[in-house]
Chains A and B, each alone.
Chain A
Amino acid sequence: MSIKKITKKLPQIREQLKEFREILLANLVMIGEIPAPTFQESERIEFLLNRFNEAGLADNSIDDCGNGIGILNGSEGEKAILVNAHADTVFSSKTDHTMQVTSDTIDGPGVADNSLGLAVLATLPYLLQELDITLKNDLILLGGVKSLGRGDLEGVRFFLDNNSFNITEGICIEGVEQGRLSYTSIGMLRGEITCRVPEMYDWSRFGDASAILTLNEVINKINDIRLPKRPRTSVVMGSISGGSSFNTIAKEATLGFEVRSESEEVVTDVGRTINDIAREVSSKTGDDVELDIFARRKPGGIPYAHPLNKCTRDIMNSLEIEPRLAPSTSELAAFIDKDIPALTLGITSGDHIHKYNESVEIDPIYNGITQLIGTIIAIDGGYCD
């Protein structure tokens, strides 16, 4: 079967998927309503395992790291394809996780990143069964935990380090954005800088002490770092927190940041410069300035012309999905570290990502799942080796 034979089948698969709309959306709603901040994903993983059990998957388990794993045995089983979706979201367990269903959308915190990805993973065995699709290779379905923020891809890394399968390709599923095709990881360094006014501070120095002012000094200095245009490099100042009220001097303030670059060397250099800035500001102000680096990624990935990449682009084009090529710092990086060809796909369109009114569009989901199934069939058929 050539890739054209696969792409020819896809419109029919897309139509058939519509019959299973309620099953997919019910999984999305039920998963979405289980809070799963990083390090607290166990209830979602339990739901995922129930779905795998109901679909009759042979070996389902929760590993020592807390990942949920389902195995769809292939007829030959010499190789394995790993499909991964991270189970955690950026929302705390105190957030109201009620999902709302309209005719066109599903709305609620975390619905796009990544409740939809996990719901697709939970529904995939059922869909393959109903579509009568059988595979030669084993299909490993991994609901990965401890992925975001300080989790630093711990779940997927643990599985890749400790499994006994011959994993030849990987696919990471993200709820949004359809068209996303990530096959490279950029170099990255993620950390926090926390400024603290020391306990022994002389409070008689009227008004000139504040952890926020100190952090502001740090931010200005980071902003002054000269970054190269080639290789492309940026510093993302992603979050800031500190202080407690209008009229109390802030004793603590924290900046969350990421350094991203196509070059690992540049990432290391910028990281070193930020460390120097922290020391310099600390010595000037007398405040404690603590730098905590808790995640790193090495740049890498597969080339544009890699068969996995080419096949996936063909599949996307046949479904009129325009591939948008963008590097990633998510689970893909764990595959790259293991030299396993892998890519990240988005399922549908979404809005208000990481806000309480996050939403996903329902109609494009069928196309998004069809591209995923098409890619799995192509890998299984040996077109991506």
Chain B
Amino acid sequence: MEDTVIDLQNWIDENTYHHSQFWDLKKLVAKKEKLGLTISLCLPTLNEEKTIGKEVIIFKSELMNRYPLIDEIAVIDSGSEDKTLEVAKNYGADTYLSSDILPDLDPKMGKGENLWKAIYQLKGDIIVYVDADISNIHPRFVYGLVAPLIHREEVKYVKAFYDRPLAFSGGVRASGGGRVTEILVRPLFSLFFPELTTIIQPLSGEYAVRREVLEQIAFPIGYGVETSHLIDVHNKFGLEAFAQTDLDKRVHENKPTQSLGKMSFGILQTFIKRAKALGILEKADHETILRQFQVTKDHYQQNKISIVEEERPPMIEIEEYRKKFGK
């Protein structure tokens, strides 16, 4: 067990980045062009007129006009009733209605459907997915994710995490994901896929992936898409296919607890389906260490907590009890 833990800490140290490491966009673009890579940005939308204009303007200005890092910006929409598509198109994004892509297939509603159809519609060797509801959007949301793919051939899937507390008094502090991550996904991964606990925010909606990986994995169309990606990519390519980048702060609307319940329900369905298929649920013993994150300055460490849920038998099976009560 100790060996595994050391390995995981090594993995975290070697594969966890901060976006500021990739500030030199000129250099990044030169390397991308040298490798002959093409990069597509996909923004999945449903009624995002308040934020989509800003995202398109900033990515187009900074990462297409100034520094040609991305080759296309595509908005794939689930059928917005507001002006999402009009605004996105006005500022130069390619806009698609999800149901118009692969029209012979039954249309399905959900973000995962848009992400999946992007693989068919977009041209890039790398696809970057960025949620369209981010109000503090910045070019780092894209270059921070594609940079590890450009610099390291063996990396196939780069996940975002956000870790910049507004106020912190120093020393060691807890880190990690949101409520669903810490209450549901991290305990599940600690039990069944300890290697995946190295991903600091498994549910973040921003990631960059090579086409050769995307075309080989299934896409739940709803809440489970990020969880399934991690399990499937890990199963097919191993932990060495992943990297993660700290993109600092992400501002978006907070979800009420009931919505998190729905999200958790979808994630659980996806998880159980995969765990069954991989025969993991049938295993007699599983991990008893919960792996959470703590951070000292900018160094991320796993915090291991042993939680063994021991049980007592029914009292009726205890001899002394039976004697005392004459049973």
Query: Which residues of A are interface residues toward B (Cβ below 8 A)?
Result: 20-23, 25-27, 29-30, 33, 54, 98-103
Contact = CB atoms under 8 A, between A and B. Distances in A.
A198 B317 CA distance: 81
Contacts of A29: 54, 57-58
A25 B135 contact: no
24 contacts: A22-B57, A22-B65, A22-B91, A22-B92, A23-B61, A23-B66, A25-B61, A26-B57, A26-B58, A26-B61, A27-B61, A54-B66, A98-B135, A98-B136, A99-B54, A100-B50, A100-B54, A101-B54, A101-B57, A101-B87, A101-B91, A102-B87, A103-B83, A103-B87
B240 interface: no
Interface of B: 49-51, 53-54, 56-58, 60-62, 65-66, 83, 86-87, 90-92, 135-136, 138, 251
Nearest to B91: A22
A196 to B, nearest CB: 33
A101 B48 CA distance: 11
B58 A30 contact: yes
Instruction: From B49, B57, B58, B62, name the one whose CB has the most chain A CB atoms within 10 angstroms.
Output: B57
Contacts of A101: 53-54, 57, 87, 91
A21 B53 CA distance: 13
B247 to A, nearest CB: 16
Given A98-B251, A103-B83, A25 B136 contact: no
Contacts, number: 49
Given A22-B65, A30-B58, A98-B136, 10 more contacts: A22-B56, A23-B65, A25-B61, A26-B62, A29-B54, A54-B66, A101-B53, A102-B83, A103-B86, A103-B87
A103 B90 contact: yes
Instruction: From B53, B54, B83, B135, name the one whose CB has the most chain A CB atoms within 10 angstroms.
Output: B54
Nearest to B67: A54
Nearest to B135: A98
Nearest to A107: B50
A33 B251 CA distance: 13
List the 4 shortest-distance A-B pairs measured between CB atoms, nearest first: A101-B53, A26-B61, A22-B61, A101-B54
Contact of B57 (A25, A33, A54, A98): A25
Nearest to B60: A22
Contacts of A21: 91
A98 B249 CA distance: 14
Contacts of B60: 22, 26
Nearest to B88: A103
A205 B50 CA distance: 56
A101 B56 CA distance: 10
Contacts of A100: 50-51, 53-54
B162 to A, nearest CB: 17
A33 B51 CA distance: 14
Contacts of A26: 57-58, 60-62
A20 B50 CA distance: 22
Contacts of B54: 29, 99-101
A54 B83 CA distance: 34
